[in-house]
Amino acid sequence: MRSAVVLLILAACGGDGSITIAFDKPLVGESFVRDQLGPTGAVSAMIPVAVSVDGAPTRISLSAGDRAFADLVDDAGLADLRTTGVVTLTATAYDGETVAATTTVDVTVDDLALASCREWLDAFHVDYTVGPASPGVVDPVTAKMPINGVPYKVVGAMNPRMSMFADCRIIKSLVIAAPSFRERDIAQVTDYGVYNYRCIGGGTPPNCPNGISQHAYAMAIDLAGFTTSDSTFFSVNDDWVIDPNAEETCMAPTMEGKDRFLHELICELKAAGVWNIVLTPNYNADHRNHFHVDLTPGSDFIERRLGPVAYGD
């Protein structure tokens, strides 16, 4: 794929004369790979940036779309690009509060080509061991905690988890979820658990009239609450306000404060495709105290219960 190239230089008068700016790196059309975890744990391509400047701007900002990075220092900096495809980097020179010059360059970002989930964990330096083998679990791993900087604690436990057993794909999803937690200052996630070899609604596989729970495959986790660094606890049970029947979960008005925090968090994670299914307290009474999130193949929704249909549970 050929990248569209845009290189625009605007000049304006500054205190010491006109200012111009141009990218030295990255090069026009250069390609990069998302092969690192960025400052907040996001899967990123880390792009060194340098510009040539004539004149004396007061500062030079760096951005890609709506995302702003740290200002360039000594005409250089770093951009952590989180999206794939053609990405436009923009450097803007300021004379005081006035835009004096702008330059842009397009680069291409791709994902690592990996054959398996375990290779993905290895590439991003997730500490885990293989197994133990368990009924229903296709790719069992035991991950050392915290996961991508985020500790987890089981409801009722005194101390955070030291490890978590799950299908490799759930561990990968928690690595990808971590930036949303960390950027909201979440210092600990409280959960009800991952693996439970059971049917939806109770019973033991394979005799499951309503289907087998995704917990039986270790492909789901139930999230009960989130603690920020100032020890504020956001409880799904106590702080989520159930939306009116006519309102979609991620479109409904929210109550200011903890309810809004919880809605925005889980809706951002679902919109990012971290999990295939998300069940909130809007779904039914069994989910009043947690977010059930899972990786049911071929599914993609966060919604209310529709008649008698049962989902990943």
Give the domain range for residue 202: 117-302
Contact by Cβ (8 Å): 192, 141: no
pLDDT tens digits for range 100-111: 999 999 999 999
Q: What is the pLDDT of residue 1?
A: 36
Residue where a domain terminates, one of 111, 134, 163:
111
Mean pLDDT of 149-169: 98
Q: Same domain, yes or no, for 82 and 170?
A: no
| Residues of the chain above pLDDT 70, percent | 91
pLDDT at 17 over 70: no
Q: Is 271 exposed, middle or buried (0-12, 13-18, 19+ CB in 10 A)?
A: exposed
Q: Same domain, yes or no, for 139 and 161?
A: yes
pLDDT tens digits for range 169-185: 999 999 999 999 999 99
Peptide linkage before 135 cis (omega within 30 of 0): no
In-domain check, residue 64: yes
pLDDT tens digits for range 250-305: 999 999 999 999 999 999 999 999 999 999 999 989 999 999 999 999 999 896 55
The CATH number of residue 163's host domain is 3.30.1380
Please state the domain count of the chain.
2
pLDDT at 9 over 90: no
pLDDT tier, 16 (very low <50, low <70, confident <90, very high otherwise): very low
pLDDT tens digits for range 213-232: 999 999 999 999 999 999 99
Mean pLDDT of 132-156: 98
Q: Same domain, yes or no, for 226 and 162?
A: yes
Residue where a domain terminates, one of 71, 87, 111:
111
Between β-strands 220-228 and 186-193, what pairing exists: parallel, antiparallel or unpaired? Answer: antiparallel
- Residue 138 has phi, psi (to 5 degrees) of -75, -45
User: Rounded to whole angstroms, how far apart are CA atoms 18 and 13?
Assistant: 4
What mean pLDDT, rounded, does the chain reach?
92
Contact by Cβ (8 Å): 44, 38: yes
In-domain check, residue 312: no
